[in-house]
Amino acid sequence: MTARPLTLSSSYLATVRGTHELHRLIAEGKEDSPEAEAIRDASDGAWEALSETERNRARWVAEDLYSLYEEPPAKQEMTREAQAGLNEAYEARERGEWDRALGLLRTWRAYIDPSLLSYLRGTIWLEAGDPATAALFFQHAHRLNPENESYRAMYVQALNLSKTASH
């Protein structure tokens, strides 16, 4: 199977753009602010237009984005089962099974470094067709591990692509 980007509807992209903004406010402790309420108000219409698949995807993106500013789960020693799960995530990504790859990363996230987790999430979203979400994850990976040149390069690439996509 050839990996293909997702078909992301305008309503889905509007929902996720609101999610990015709302996460920024929540991270700043402004979850109850008028700006946060304005984002919630503005997002209702797009939410109603989403399919159930898109709603699930939007919820999971929102959940994964909490990792940008919350404490990661306690690191676990790698096990054979976890390694198999992570291999499965890589394979799912190669096949373009984006939601499945993200789900597997979620399941086994405690077994990998948070910077690598964000990097992998970024690669998935970049290939799945959402460079703005990818940029947030790459930026996080770069912040956690500024020595890694790949993280920085991918962040810049995703950022540029997201700017191009929004024009």
Partner 1 sequence: MPRVFRVMRKEPDSLPTIGDRHLGVRPGIDVDVDAQNNVQVNGKGMSVAPNWRDINHKRIPGRLRPILPGAMGSNSKFCFRYGDGPFVQGALASGLTLEPDSPTHGNVAPAQVVPLATYQGDIAATRSDWVEDET
The correct pick among 3, 6, 14, 26 for binding partner 1 (CB under 8 A) is 26
How many Å apart are CA 103 and CA 106, to the nearest integer? Answer: 5
d(CA 107, CA 120): 14
Q: What are 154's two structure tokens? A: 């991918």
Structural contact between residues 108 and 79, judged by C-beta atoms closer than 8 angstroms: no
Pick the closer one to partner 1 by CB: 58 or 112: 58
Q: Which is nearer to partner 1, 52 or 149 (CB)?
A: 52
Write down the least CB distance from residue 167 to partner 1, Å.
26
Positions 55 through 74 that interact with partner 1 (CB under 8 A): 55, 58-63, 66
Q: Give which of 98, 117, 96 is closest to 108, Cα–Cα.
A: 117
Could you say which residues in the range 77-116 bind partner 1, by CB under 8 A? Answer: none
Radius of gyration of the chain (CA): 16
Give the footprint of partner 1 on this chain (CB under 8 A).
18-19, 22-23, 26, 31-32, 36-37, 39-40, 43-44, 47-48, 55, 58-63, 66
